Every structure is written in C-alpha cells, then in structure tokens.
Structure 1
Amino acid sequence: MGVIVEQFPLYVQGFLQTVRICILAAVGSLILGTILAAFRVSPVPPLRAVGAAWVTVFRNTPLAVVLFAVAFGLPELGINGSYFWFGVAGLTLYTAAFVCEAVRSGINSVSAGQAEAARAMGLTFSQSLSLIVLPQAFRTVVPPLGSVIIAMIKNSAIVGAFGVGGDLFAVGVQLTSAQGYAAAGVLTGVLLGYLILTIPAGIVLARLERKLAVAR
C-alpha cells in the first residue's frame, strides 16, 4: 500500500485521464447508439440493414480487435490522430452497438398505439420517434444502459493497453515495469481507482431507476 501513498499524484493523474476517456466514450456511444436504434426500427430498409449490420459486427468482435482496426486501419485511410482519440473512437464504436440494442428494446416496449396516435396527428416517423417514443423508451432502459456504461468503464482498461497514455492502466505499467514497484501494491491502487468510478456510477443509476419508476 505504500506505493499508493508515494505515487498518489500519479494515480490521481491516471484516474482523471480514465475519467476523461469514459466521459467522451459514454457521450459518443449514447448518441451513436440512439441513432443506430432509430435505424433499426426505421421504415427505410437500407437504414435497418445498416443498424443490424453494425450491431452484428461489433457485438461479435472482441474490443481488442476493434481497437487494433481503428488504431492501425484509420491511418492507412488517411485519417491520422493520437492514440488517445483512436482509443476513445474504438471504445465508442464498440459500446454503441450495445447501447443500440438497449434503446431498441425500450422502443419496442412502448405501446404501438403511441406511434399510431402520433401518425394520426400528422407527425412524421422521426418526429414521433423523437417526441413521443424515445422519451418513454429511455425510462425503461436505465438498468440495461447502466450495465452497458459500467462495462464500458471497465473496458477502458483495454483502451489503456493501446498506448493512450496517462490512464490508470498506464500508471500500473509504469510503476511495475519502469520503476520496479511490486505488482500487488500497484494493482491495488489501480483497482481502487476503477472501483471509485464503477461503484458510484451504479449507485447513481440505481437511484435514477427508482426515480423514473415512481414517475411512471
């Protein structure tokens, strides 16, 4: 435990970098996943095909392979950037597939009469989805979305293995490999950092779930 005290500023730096990765990936995956869910329930066949293909590919591909494809494939296409942004992009693309399925399940749980009433009022598909269906769907998908986000936080450790730099994973590698600290103490600090992220996230999501349940 002495390493945690001695290297506390470094742990804080790694923690903040991990928080940054998680926030960016969470926002990106929630937006992209919702768009993909809209594609999956769209009356336009090509959009449904895109949504289904995305989910099939990314849900059945290991995150490490996705990160390799983004980090080494995009530069070959002329898209250059830092490993930090490649890592965030890979985590976002991967997590969006799971967000999509969670949101789609919420959309399917909304009574079909809601959409029919919206069409009777003259609303388009996109209007009825954004104004009527999605607000109700999101109330029902807090638990699965919460599980997806918590899994994403844990998956950020894999992103750190791809040279993002400065995150909790990188701190662990630096202290054990470069500075020679015992692995047990170093990894205890890394573990505590991730627990500080995941446990409060679970508590907040549980309270949000109860609040929305009362609202329903």
Structure 2
Amino acid sequence: MDFSFLEFYQQEFYDGLWTTISVSLFALVFSLILGTVIAVLRISGVKALAGFGTAYVEFIRNTPLVAQIFFVFFALPAVGIKLSQFAVGTIGLSIYTSSYIAEVIRAGIQSVPCGQMEAARSSGMTYVQAMWYVILPQAFKLIVPPLGNQFINLVKNSSVLAVIAGGELMYFTDVATTEADVTPVYLFVAVVYLLLTVPLSLLVHFLERRWLGRKSS
C-alpha cells in the first residue's frame, strides 16, 4: 500500500473534506425543514395538500439522485438561474433527502396519540400551533434512530457531487486516482467517510438512550 499520494494531494483532500461537511450541514438543515413541511401536508386532511405531499414523496424517492442533480445542474441555467456546484449539490441533496425524512416524520407524528392533538385544539391552539408545540416535539423523540440514519445517508450521498465537479471529497479522490494507485486512495477515503459517519451514529445512539431513559422514568 503506497499512501505517498497524501503528500501531493493533501490540500485537495482538506478542501474536499470541508466541502463535504459544509454541503452536508446545509442540506441537513434544508431537508429537515422541507421534510417536516411535506410530512405535515401529507397528514393535513386537505386532499389537495395531501395529494401534493404524496406525489412529491413518490416522485423524488423513485427517481435516482444523480438524475435529480443533473436536472438541477442543467435545467436551472436553461431558464436563466445560474448556481455554483455547491449550491446545486445542496439543493439536490436537500430535495432528495427531504422525501425520506418526510416519511420518517409522518410515521412519528402518527405514533403520537390522537388525543394529544384533540387536547391541544380544545385548549384554543390552531392546527399549526398544536403541531409545532405539542405533536412535533413528541414525534421527533420517537424517530431519532431512523432520522439519524437519513442524516448519515446524506453525508454519504454527498459524494454524488463528484459527477458535476462539485469539489467535495469524492471529486478529489477521482482526481488523485489519475496519478496514484486506486486501492490506497479509495481505502483512505473510505476511512475518512467512516470518521464522518461514526460520530453521527454514536450521537444518535446517545440521544436515543437519553430520551428513552427520560420516557421510561
């Protein structure tokens, strides 16, 4: 195993790692917000809104992430909207991940007893207020493991930016393999991704134990 490539591509890997972390964090926030909105629409009881939420989830989940990234990358400039590769990657990842997050949150909301919503509404809260202050806080505590898994998948899926020269970790990995042995390069990058995702997994387990412990006590 020859890891001498690290000497020549050290700065590139630093830049790629920073881009991967940055786009993952931005996409995490946006996908969580968008996924929550879609989940609420799906259970709103309004046919038009529920239909839109269902169509969104089914379409996004059943089309490849690469195709969605390419669509954003090429379609938006065609209508006069020019974005950086970073922005394209963030938008693509946010939209794709939000469809999965929406289903996770919907399941969490439906796990909360119906009486919680009825009690909140009877106390004078609007539907939105009841959802925000009563239902969603309980739902999020129930869905920590699957939600954490989606965040971990998001970090790994950020590697798709390499197809549009997004400047993330996998892009510079492909650059390094043009002059170095493939095996040590990809082994090194696999370890880096592990260093990114394992702490996330440990954090999810910590939150799960903490909140479940509070619930049982």
Matches of 1:4 and 1:10, distance apart in 2: 9
Structure 1 residue identity aligned to 2:131: L
Q: Structure 1 residues 9 and 80, CA, compared in 2 at 3 Å: closer, same or farther? A: closer
Please list, as runs of the form range in 1=range in 2, the aligned pairs for 1:62-101 lying within 5 A after superposition: 62-101=64-103
Tell me, yes or no, if the aligned pair for 1:25 and 1:88 is still in contact at 8 Å.
yes
Tell me, yes or no, if the aligned pair for 2:108 and 2:140 is still in contact at 8 Å.
yes
Please list, as runs of the form range in 1=range in 2, the aligned pairs for 1:127-142 lying within 5 A after superposition: 127-142=129-144
Please list, as runs of the form range in 1=range in 2, the aligned pairs for 1:2-81 lying within 5 A after superposition: 2-81=4-83
User: Could you list the per-position Cα deviations for residues 53-96 of structure 1 after superposition, in whole angstroms to 9, with x for gaps in the alignment?
Assistant: 11010111111111111111122222211122111101110000
Q: Unaligned stretches of 5+ in structure 2? A: none
Other-structure match for 1:205 = 204
TM-score (norm 1): 0.94
User: Could you list the per-position Cα deviations for residues 85-134 of structure 1 after superposition, in whole angstroms to 9, with x for gaps in the alignment?
Assistant: 11110111000000000000000000000011111112111111001100
In the alignment of these two chains, the number of paired residues is 213
Give the Å deviation of 1:6: 4.7
Matches of 1:31 and 1:188, distance apart in 2: 34
Tell me, yes or no, if the aligned pair for 1:25 and 1:91 is still in contact at 8 Å.
yes
Give the Å deviation of 1:205: 0.8
Structure 1 residue identity aligned to 2:107: S
Question: Which stretch has the larger CA shift, 121-130 or 184-193?
Answer: 184-193
Give the Å deviation of 1:5: 4.7
Matches of 2:129 and 2:45, distance apart in 1: 13
Other-structure match for 1:185 = 184
Structure 1 residue identity aligned to 2:12: L
- SS of equivalent residue, structure 2 residue 164: coil
Q: Structure 1 residues 81 and 210, CA, compared in 2 at 3 Å: closer, same or farther? A: same
Structure 2 residue identity aligned to 1:11: F
User: Could you list the per-position Cα deviations for residues 121-163 of structure 1 after superposition, in whole angstroms to 9, with x for gaps in the alignment?
Assistant: 1211111100110000000010110111111111111122221
- SS of equivalent residue, structure 2 residue 177: helix
Tell me, yes or no, if the aligned pair for 1:36 and 1:100 is still in contact at 8 Å.
yes
Matches of 2:173 and 2:85, distance apart in 1: 18
Counterpart check, 1:176 vs 2:165: no
Q: Structure 1 residues 76 and 9, CA, compared in 2 at 3 Å: closer, same or farther? A: closer
Structure 2 residue identity aligned to 1:58: I
Structure 1 residue identity aligned to 2:5: V
Tell me, yes or no, if the aligned pair for 2:161 and 2:171 is still in contact at 8 Å.
no
- RMSD over aligned Cα atoms: 1.2
Other-structure match for 1:157 = 159
- Structure 1 vs Structure 2: percent identity of aligned residues? 37
Matches of 1:7 and 1:154, distance apart in 2: 21
Matches of 1:36 and 1:101, distance apart in 2: 9
Structure 2 residue identity aligned to 1:75: P
Structure 2 residue identity aligned to 1:26: L
Counterpart check, 1:114 vs 2:113: no
User: Could you list the per-position Cα deviations for residues 164-199 of structure 1 after superposition, in whole angstroms to 9, with x for gaps in the alignment?
Assistant: 12x11111111122xx11111211221122111111
Structure 2 residue identity aligned to 1:105: A
